[in-house]
A = this chain, B = another copy of it.
Amino acid sequence: MAGSSPCASCKLLRRRCAKDCIFAPYFPPEDPHKFAIVHKVFGASNVNKMLQELPVHQRADAVSSLVYEANARKRDPVYGSVGIIFYLQNQISQLQMQLAFAEAEVLCIQMQQERSLANQHVIDIHEPSSLFCATASPAFLNP
């Protein structure tokens, strides 16, 4: 896959870029940072081994994920991509809580509606329904 100029990997490692260079399809010379960051975090030898163990059609995705992880490690040297996982898990917990409250509010309003209809009473239109379910509505649902 090597063209007239060596791929970014062979350039950085100062070696001849062979015709069947495993890095060449994924690390073009125009983007030297891509290999540099992967090399810094994983090491060229490890990346080589990881790619060798994969079928060719999965290697581009593997390189993308390694580049993503390496950049995450550069931005956050303590937590790397695991920091992103923590952040997303936290976001999921918050959304699950908000969803549970919203679904509880739906049920609460429906029950209130059915109860008031059953009693054939007309509720004062100015009374907001959120007041019926005050205990089920946290602050973020009533900004």
Contacts of A62 in B (CB 8 A): 77-79
Contacts of A61 in B (CB 8 A): 78-79
Q: Please tell me which one of the listed residues B43, B85, B95, B122 contacts residue A43 in the complex, with CB atoms under 8 A apart.
A: B43
Chain B CB within 8 A of A109 CB: yes
Q: How close is A68's CB to chain B, nearest CB, in angstroms?
A: 5
Interface residues of A in 118-132 (CB under 8 A from B): 118, 120, 122-123, 125, 128-129
CA distance A113 to B40 in the complex (A): 62
Assuming the contacts A43-B43, A102-B99, asked whether A69 and B80 have C-beta atoms less than 8 A apart, the reply is: yes
Q: How close is A126's CB to chain B, nearest CB, in angstroms?
A: 9
Assuming the contacts A61-B78, A62-B77, asked whether A92 and B83 have C-beta atoms less than 8 A apart, the reply is: no
Closest 7 CB pairs of A and B: A102-B102, A65-B82, A88-B88, A95-B95, A43-B43, A81-B81, A117-B125
